[in-house]
Chain A
Amino acid sequence: MSIDLSQFFDVFFEESFEGLDAMEAELLNLEPGTEDSETINTIFRAAHSIKGGSGTFGFVSVSDFTHVLETLLDQIRDGQRVLTAEHVNLLLKSVDCVRGLLSALQAEEEPDLSESNELKARFEAILGDESPEVVEAEHSETVSEALQSTTYQIDFKPESHLFKTGNEPLYMFSELAELGELEVNVFHDGLPEFLEFDPEDCFLHWRFFLTTTREEQAISEIFEWVEDDAEIKIEACGGLFEDESPTVQQASVPEPSVSSNADNLETVQQPPAQSENATNNEQNQQAEESLAAVQKKVESVKSNKAESRKSTDSAATSIRVGIDKVDSLINMVGELVITQAMLSQIGDQDITESSIAALQEGLTQLAHNTRDLQENVMRIRMLPISFVFSRFPRLVRDTSQKLKKQVELKLVGEQTELDKTVMEKLSDPMVHLVRNSLDHGLETPEERIANGKNPVGTVTLNAFHQGGNIVIEIMDDGKGLDTEKIRSKAIANGLINESDELSAEEINELIFMPGFSTADSVSDISGRGVGMDVVRRNIQALNGSVEVTSKQGVGSTFTIRLPLTLAILDGQLVQVATHTYIIPLISIVESLQIDITKVSKVGKGLEVLRLRDEYIPILRLYDIFSHQGAREELDKTLLVVVESDNYKIGLLVDDLLAQQQVVIKSLEANYQKVDGISGATILGDGTVSLIIDISGLIKLSGLRRPGSTELLVDLKGEEAEPA
């Protein structure tokens, strides 16, 4: 009789990755000297769950590794050891390492143990070298009580179903034995006759005498998982019995400068790990460090692979949905059922005048229900953007250490909700932008001081809703974009001509051109040739846009605008000749009949409408889409003024039809990308209608020069218009 444990693997991996994320977040909150026991407890619990789970499923590599990690955390938590910056670094590395191991296991591959072994060795070195007792002795004032050995009598009487809950008492006993001197007595008086013996039940109970320097809490924690399934009695029978909680708290806030560990506290602000080791540790540790660095490089290729696979996998995994969202869905389905019952009741009767009125009312209600239901179903996919933001504290910490820059990361609007699909695809471009800000944007502390700025640079991630869009800003207070440098680089790359006169905004826009990188040297962090063009392309693929504003010496801001969801769009149906197109309602500014007296021709036949104080270029949709038989006279047609990337254009259509919500379908899936079209949808009558992509349309019409933000309305630009 065996249970197929593999059915639980997915849940285990998911929970473990969540646990790791939690550990990482808490570790980043944990600066030495300021730690509180609650934070450490959270980290410990996460590590403990991973260890427990991996042990159960037989992932020995993970459970072994988390065990040493847990031992260290346990000692820190109990105040036997003082938390140092080195510990935090090491723990962060081990989070990565465990994540790597788990990803490998999830992909059913042999996990690469070299990194975990090496980290394990370092943990063991810490645990061994500076034995807790030494530290304690130095903190004799605060932890002296803990040093006193106490003998506890522990009665452990499990319920018969203990094994079925997946607990193995043997593990607990060996953990107990690690705490101190253990005497075990087993009582087997509960054993039944052999014939009645059920091997899956537990008939034994135990009494232990444990002589330990540890608190009672440490013992009760071992039994934490079986509390509900067993009678547990822990009593101190020899030595002192102490109320342990205040002791622990005192112990975890040690006086600096007492021990060698305390020296580490002062080096927290020194970013590179090497200098820390050089001052504090023996040289062999340093050698280990460099060895680790070499190994890491070798393995980075592998781990990258694992990570990328993970990201593709994650698209198919589950999402967690708040129970309130599910409840409201159930309510709505309830209403829908009632409406349906009402309608079918009307349908069963003979049709009379009064039943028609009721039918219409029912249909209105049905439309209402459907819309509510749709909105709520969409909301299930919405997650707070903190899922993306949460990875940045770590990234900023690591990157700024590598760059020897001091950076403060501010996160604003973390609760802003966003579609999960959008979120997944948003992550990479954002990482790129944040790295860019750190690498190119922010100056070194020395430069900042020289410029009269706070040596600590600030990077702010800000998310908020604006209309039907979500806007994400990545702001830094660094040196801003160097327009001269960009300009000369663009000339060197042949992107623009020497004679081109470009505004600062136009120059800034050039960084989004393919193959553009101003990094003087290719660094580890950015400037690998994969540049802002990829960022822009990725975001445009999500129907979004990215812009940059920058002020030299003050900083730069990248603004990403994205639709809240990719699946549904409010559309305006328009008619062009015999064809029906959909214009996203969100981009429509207004629709109007053209006053032909206000239309003038500019340059090569481009018509411009003067609308209040603006000149709106007129695009004839039938012309762009090469359709025959459309109305061509301006006074018999309608103009739909749309806005994209802050520019307005007018689209000439034959007629406006209905407004409705449409479900976006991919045209590309079975066909290919069509210029000026962002997708397709199916109308109520089953026919296909195409959705217009405004910015694509502008490009298609040749109104806009690549790299320029100005529409070519003025005569100066007209000359450069591509034929």
Chain B
Amino acid sequence: MIDQVEVNQQLMFDGESDEKQFLTFMMHDEEYGMDILAVQEIRGWEPVTTIPNSPNFVRGAMNLRGTIVPIIDLRMRFGINAIEYGPLTVVIVVSVKIKEQQKIMGLVVDAVSDVYSIAEEKAKDVPDFQDSDNAYFVHGLVNVGQKMVVLLNLEKVLDLSDKSGLKG
């Protein structure tokens, strides 16, 4: 029953306009966006339990109301130099389907920014920047006012077993 309702809401939403909502966040003075439907909650940074021998972008595991959730530092995932976590540092908890499995993960980013409604067809393809491994994680680029927002492909960002992206 509940599933149905959710689907309907989504249909309604899609029916009203072709626009999708994106949550954007800041990282290294760049603005990135992700599909807001994937976002479960936003939390402040708390110390986590280290997972031994994990890639360096995996900060550890956190207790999210009884569920063990891995926390991923997005800066390190993208190979951007790490900074000290401050009061603005947040963890965006997302639920993403990776290889047929729904997984809940936390992403550490510098700060959350805004929510935009963006028509999907406005998103431009990624320019061919072959020199950057990060292009692999990018779903598209979009202009909001004067700013450019990088829309992420969360499935690829969070598929840790996928070695074709950047190695941590």
Contacts and interface: CB of A to CB of B under 8 A. Distances in A.
B68 A670 contact: yes
Contacts of B104: 670
A687 interface: yes
A194 interface: no
Nearest to B96: A670
A695 to B, nearest CB: 16
A669 B52 contact: no
Interface in A479-530: none
A131 B38 CA distance: 70
Interface stretch (A69-77, A454-462, A622-630): A622-630
A671 B161 CA distance: 10
A126 interface: no
A680 B68 contact: yes
A677 interface: yes
Contacts of B103: 669-671
A637 interface: no
Nearest to B104: A670
A674 B53 CA distance: 8
B49 A690 contact: yes
Given A665-B68, A670-B68, A670-B105, A688 B53 contact: no
Given A670-B70, A671-B70, A689 B52 contact: no
Given A670-B105, A671-B61, A682-B63, A690 B161 contact: no
B51 interface: yes
B143 interface: no
Interface string A611-633: 00000000000001111000000
A682 B67 CA distance: 9
A667 B61 contact: yes
Contacts, number: 68
Nearest to A581: B52
Interface string A686-702: 11111000000000000
Contacts of A669: 67-68, 103
B66 interface: yes
Contacts of B50: 579, 627
Interface in B37-71: 48-54, 58, 60-63, 66-70
B52 A627 contact: yes
A34 interface: no
A666 interface: yes
B69 A689 contact: no
A531 B49 CA distance: 38
Given A669-B103, A671-B70, A680 B61 contact: yes
A229 interface: no
B67 A686 contact: no
A690 B53 contact: no
B141 interface: no
Given A669-B103, A672-B160, A626 B66 contact: no
A579 B58 CA distance: 16
Interface residues of B, number: 22
A689 B68 CA distance: 10
Nearest to B101: A669
A680 B58 CA distance: 16
Interface in A670-723: 670-672, 674-677, 680, 682, 686-690
B68 A625 contact: no
Contacts of A627: 50, 52
A625 B53 contact: yes
Nearest to A663: B66
Contacts of B160: 671-672
B67 A670 contact: yes
A46 to B, nearest CB: 36
A667 B68 contact: yes
B44 to A, nearest CB: 15
Contact of B52 (A670, A674, A686, A687): A674
Interface string B136-157: 0000000000000000000000
B52 A625 contact: yes
Nearest to B50: A579
Interface string A350-387: 00000000000000000000000000000000000000
Contacts of A625: 52-53
A682 B69 CA distance: 12
A688 B50 CA distance: 9
A329 to B, nearest CB: 22
Nearest to A580: B49
A689 B52 CA distance: 11
Contacts of B54: 674
Contact of A688 (B49, B105, B161): B49
Contacts of B161: 672
A676 B52 CA distance: 9
B76 to A, nearest CB: 16
Contacts of A675: 53
Contact of A687 (B51, B63, B66, B69): B63
Most chain-B CB neighbours within 10 Å: which of A626, A670, A680? Answer: A670
A671 B52 contact: no
B68 A677 contact: no
A688 B52 contact: no
A690 B53 CA distance: 13
A677 B105 CA distance: 19
A193 B132 CA distance: 91
B52 A690 contact: yes
B58 to A, nearest CB: 8
Contacts of A626: 52-53
B67 A665 contact: yes
Nearest to B72: A671
The 4 A-B residue pairs with the shortest CB-CB distance in the complex, in nearest-first order: A625-B52, A688-B49, A671-B70, A680-B68
30 contacts: A580-B49, A625-B52, A626-B53, A666-B68, A667-B61, A667-B70, A669-B68, A670-B68, A670-B69, A670-B104, A670-B105, A671-B58, A671-B68, A671-B70, A671-B105, A672-B161, A674-B51, A674-B52, A675-B53, A680-B61, A680-B68, A682-B63, A682-B66, A682-B68, A687-B49, A688-B49, A688-B60, A688-B68, A690-B52, A690-B61
Given A670-B104, A671-B70, A688-B48, 15 more contacts: A579-B49, A625-B53, A626-B53, A627-B52, A665-B67, A666-B68, A669-B68, A670-B70, A671-B103, A674-B53, A677-B52, A686-B63, A688-B61, A690-B52, A690-B61
